[in-house]
A and B are shown apart, each in its own frame.
Chain A
Amino acid sequence: MKSWYTFLLAITSVCAHAAADCPDLSAVDVSEDSVMEFDVLRLGGTLGDTACATPLCDSIAEWERKAPGDEKTTRSAELLDAIRASAAELPSDRPGVSTLNNQLDVWRELLSEADIMTLSTAVWQVDPFRIFGDQEYEIDIQEIFAESCDTSVSSCNDIFETTACVYSHAVMQRRVYVGLLKINRQATIQYLERLNSRWSAFNSGGRSLFPWELWANGAIQAGKGAHRGFVEPPTYQISLLHPSVAVQGEDTSDGSLQAAVVLELIGWYGWRWGGRDGAAMKRPFGGSLILSWDGSDEVGYGAMIHLPKNWSIGATQKKVNGNTETTLLLSVDLGKFLTEEERLRQNLIDKIEPALTF
């Protein structure tokens, strides 16, 4: 069985002695418009990219499918050597070839001295018609075609093929670098998704925060410094003039329940991040100082503790006919409750509706 590695070495060996690894462009007619023809090839992925079917492209594609690891990193160096060996076979008197080879040499040295993550690999991110865009050593493909194709069709054909191959080598080089960046990129995407879920939980998943509370909580965080880059959300919220509804039972003989409105003057609610995606609010707990209204003339004063599932229990006292009366309160976070109810209702409708549609 021929492993991809021996296959690669074989290609390297072939490239060192024969023609460069270039896409077959024999069917391309550049007599009309070389720029448009190049554009079509680029967009078709033929030039070193997904639709490139040269042996070197195949090796890169096989390498791209490998799982990240030391072996993949080691083999990337072999691929870069193969690209360099192939480019060395291009006719050096054609536009762009010397520049490409110089840069391949420079980058081979750079890679042996520094970690890939610290290098400016976007140098190899080709523009549609430029390689090394706006660098001193830029290869401007439109300019090359303008100089070669306005005078002679035969020279245009040769220049077109070489230029397409130069572009193809730059794309292959970029493919290897992107493959090496992949591990960090995918870890970053996971981190960003977790951060996003946490911020969403902070704003909408925990206790309802009214606009003034959301602003105040944000101002506290913003006050901790100017934040660029990724920012972790806090693991607590401050409640400020937070209203909610509750039911209360008084310590009266009939023990009846009645509706009440609670206003948390100030409070605190904290949690830890956990769960499968690391963005669930685990072990939430907190407390607030509260006022309560129950339809009587007196306002109650007291405290409330906040429990998981957005439930809160509290106790207030008020003066009634000169006596101090204690009342127990049970509250559920209203907005969350209503939103959940609405979602359940909508889910039900979504399930029933198709069955009723003829």
Chain B
Amino acid sequence: MTVADTIFLVHGMGHHPEGWHVPVQTAIKKLYGKYKLSRVPFDQRFKIKPISYDSVFRNLVTRWQNDANALGAAAAAVGASEVGRLVGWLRNAGQVDNNFVWTHAADVLLYRLFYTVRQEVKTHVAAEFAREIDSLSASARWSVIAHSLGTAVAHDSLDMLMSGQQEDGSPTGFEARNEQALVIAMVANVSRVLQTAAKAYDSNVKPGRAGQNGRSCRRFLNFRHVLDPFTIPKMFRPDAWPDSTAAANGLYRFVEVNHVHDVNVHDLAHYLKHPGVHIPLFRELAGFSSAVTLEQEAEAHENFKQFGQLSQSVGVRLKEKLESVSPGISEDWKAYREIWDTFIALFD
């Protein structure tokens, strides 16, 4: 009976059907195989547990689409043009192919603006966390790798789990003083721009000493791509956080990368490729620094190409394009409207 550590993988915005995590898991395994920690096979060391909440959004928008189509036909038949106009914009809400507004933008809007949807997502994800944590043996640890919208969802759900009380007011046993993640890794962190009741800098989702109250993890890694426009508004970039001692002990780390292997620099797999991202991640997840030796680290950085398979000229052009669409530093999540318009145009 092994005690593999659990890694919760929390997806970002967009359609994520069953099995969405397989390509990410494959990419992580491939990278894992390059380093010393792979002397223990991946599946003996880690168990990947995908956390999916996309179905909450998809159920809603599919229902809206069904309603709108049925109503549109009926409204036209009886001359109720006002009703037709009221629901007309929902007619393709449930389509998942080439429907970026409804598969990506709507996820963020539904999560940020719709209180009851946010509560459903949070309780769904918190229950997933709780069930898995409760099933772990005493020395097995759990960590979280969250991406994009998933950083906000993971943040809010963990804060909910660790600040909640049972119906009768008694403790849950999941408070940070009783249970801590080993690593929380936020990739393209938007938890601050989408924050509501639980504030990203002040919530329970902070690194701390073993058993420290209000500190839900031992290590917090924050990865940002300098050209990822989604991470710019109300950027998660605290100083001396969550306190000077924790910062001095390296419990929180901020890593910025700038490689361009593809136009979609927001993509999780694109982030993970960079040794500046996956090496600290592997070291903290394994819990020992020689999990990746200094020689392996130096070699990985030396062999890593800034533009990957792209030629130098294509890479430079793409980088310039991405730089041109980067929004100014904004404190408002509404800047996402401009970001979507410009970022998506790059894919055409």
Contacts and interface: CB of A to CB of B under 8 A. Distances in A.
A130 B180 contact: no
Nearest to B216: A122
Interface residues of B, number: 90
Contacts of B116: 199, 202-203, 214, 217-218, 221, 233
A182 B134 contact: yes
A174 B139 contact: yes
Contacts of A63: none
A330 interface: no
A88 interface: no
Nearest to B285: A128
Interface stretch (B58-66, B146-154, B338-346): B58-66
B213 interface: yes
Nearest to A197: B123
Contacts of A117: 170-171, 173, 178
Interface in B63-95: 63-64, 66-67, 70-71, 74-75, 77-80, 82-83, 86-87, 90
A325 interface: no
Contacts of A171: 138-139
Contacts of B5: 128
Contacts of A51: 1-3
A211 B131 CA distance: 31
Contacts, number: 272
B287 A228 contact: no
Contacts of A219: 115
A48 B2 CA distance: 12
Contacts of A208: 63, 67
Given A202-B116, A334-B67, A293 B134 contact: no
Interface in B166-200: 166-167, 170-174, 176-180, 182, 196-198
B75 A243 contact: yes
Interface residues of A, number: 91
B290 interface: yes
Interface in B102-122: 113-120
B137 interface: yes
Interface string A223-265: 0001111110100000001011100000000000001110100
B4 interface: yes
A43 interface: yes
Contacts of B120: 196, 199-200, 202-203
Interface string B145-166: 0000000000000011101111
Contact of A188 (B2, B172, B177): B172
B40 interface: yes
A208 B208 CA distance: 44
A243 B67 CA distance: 9
Interface in A160-202: 171-172, 174-175, 177-178, 181-189, 191-193, 195-196, 199-200, 202
A307 interface: no
7 contacts: A43-B44, A49-B140, A134-B218, A193-B127, A293-B75, A334-B70, A335-B64
Interface of A: 35-36, 39-40, 42-45, 47-51, 117-130, 132-135, 142, 171-172, 174-175, 177-178, 181-189, 191-193, 195-196, 199-200, 202-204, 208, 210-211, 214-215, 217-219, 221-222, 226-231, 233, 241, 243-245, 259-261, 263, 293-295, 334-336, 338-339, 342
The 3 residue pairs across chains A and B that have the minimum distance between CB atoms = A128-B287, A218-B115, A123-B211
